[in-house]
């Protein structure tokens, strides 16, 4: 299943390939689009399945507005959000894997989650800035 193939968009996104991470992102957000473009370039092995949750034809594992409000990923059948979802994505990319592994430590994950929550407060301003 690939988000590059429009014919597959409506199918259930809960299906995951072992060892492959599914990441839901806000394709309508210019900040998110830039970040996902970078992650796609870094994901040379194709270990991540990127899904545009802003596309109404995309099936979502939870409420779409909740999915768009925070970053979500599925790793080993577990739906993760926030810093834990970023860490799962990082673990799938060799260059970022050390950071993702560090985030498995509870203290590191708490610090990353605290930082992510602060980022969410300024995200709308950053989105506006990037749109201009």
pLDDT in tens, 42-57: 999 999 999 999 999 9
| Structure-token pair, residue 44 | 């040379």
Q: Residue 58: pLDDT band by 50, 70, 90 thresholds? A: confident
Average pLDDT, the chain: 86
Q: What percent of the chain has pLDDT over 90?
A: 68
**Residue 73: strand pairing partners:** 23, 80
Q: In the predicted model, what is the mean pLDDT of residues 66-86?
A: 95
Q: What percent helix, strand, coil does the chain show, rounded to 5? A: 50, 15, 40
Tell me how far apart the alpha carbons of residues 42 and 92 are, in angstroms, rounded to a whole number: 10
Confidence at residue 132, expressed as pLDDT on a 0 to 100 scale: 63
Does 13 have pLDDT greater than 70? no
Q: In the predicted model, what is the mean pLDDT of residues 91-117?
A: 97
Task: Classify residue 59 by its DSSP letter.
Answer: -
Got the DSSP string for 17-55?
-TT-EEEEE-TT-HHHHHHHHHHHHH-TT--EEEEETTS
| Whole-structure pTM value | 0.81
Does 110 have pLDDT greater than 70? yes
Per the model's pLDDT, the better-predicted residue between 132 and 31 turns out to be 31
CA–CA–CA angle 77, 16, 114 (5° rounding): 50
Helix (H, G, I), strand (E, B) or coil at 115: helix
Confidence at residue 105, expressed as pLDDT on a 0 to 100 scale: 97
Confidence at residue 123, expressed as pLDDT on a 0 to 100 scale: 81
Structural domain spans, the chain: 6-12+21-131
């Amino acid at each position: 299943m690939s988000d590059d193939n429009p014919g597959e968009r409506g199918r259930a996104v809960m299906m995951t390939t072992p060892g492959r991470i599914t990441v839901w992102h806000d394709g309508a957000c210019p900040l998110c689009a830039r970040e996902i473009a970078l992650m796609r370039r870094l994901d040379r092995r194709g270990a991540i399945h990127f899904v545009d949750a802003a596309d109404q034809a995309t099936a979502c594992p939870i409420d779409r507005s909740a999915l768009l409000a925070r970053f979500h990923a599925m790793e080993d059948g577990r739906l993760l959000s926030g810093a834990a979802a970023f860490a799962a994505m990082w673990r799938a990319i060799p260059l970022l894997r050390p950071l993702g592994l560090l985030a498995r430590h509870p203290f590191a994950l708490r610090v990353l989650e605290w930082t992510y929550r602060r980022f969410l407060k300024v995200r709308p301003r950053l989105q506006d800035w990037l749109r201009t």
